[in-house]
Chains A and B, each alone.
Chain A
Amino acid sequence: MHEASLAQSIINIAVDEAKKAGCEKIKTVTIRVGTNAGVLKDALVFAFDALKEDTPAANALLQCIEVQPEGVCGECGEVFRFKGYIFVSPCCNSPEFRITRGRELEIVEIEAE
């Protein structure tokens, strides 16, 4: 996807939240990234480190929590885990399924002082 613009959004959100809490320096930013979100973690960290200079996040560490994908079968209701892209549920081989996890892209915690 667009790791540099995502990294910029992460920095903007983190700086805003830190300011709101009356903090000046951000130590860590923790994000949840689904493995099916289309984001390359290494590219995101690289862009974050390049863009954080001269901001309150200049010394911040970006921590990524990976979220493995999960789905629910529309036929039998079974919750299943999977890897990569799937087009049918593994239990019933049914195209009627819903992906419930794995496409997250969100900030969960900022540590600042």
Chain B
Amino acid sequence: MFPKLDPILHSELRLAVISLLAGVESADFTYIKQQTGATAGNLSVQLDKLSAAGYITVEKGFKGKMPRTTCTLTPAGLEAFRKYIDALKEYISH
């Protein structure tokens, strides 16, 4: 019996965002957009879904006069990511 893949993570853009955030302490919205190649609208929707699942925190603020959105992976997000990778390894090894 294969383990179930987390549907929140099993989406190309959301998985890319979590993979990126797993390697940093925090990242700005623009950085994530540049690195994933996503459109601002789509990325914003996917970040909301990840945030609603408790996998990331999204902080909106200002740096000087410029608006700034910073995303950080939560411990729950890291744990879900770890389980997702373990599940993928199970799929591949069978």
- A, B co-complexed: no
Q: A-side interface residues toward B, CB under 8 Å?
A: none
Q: B-side interface residues toward A, CB under 8 Å?
A: none
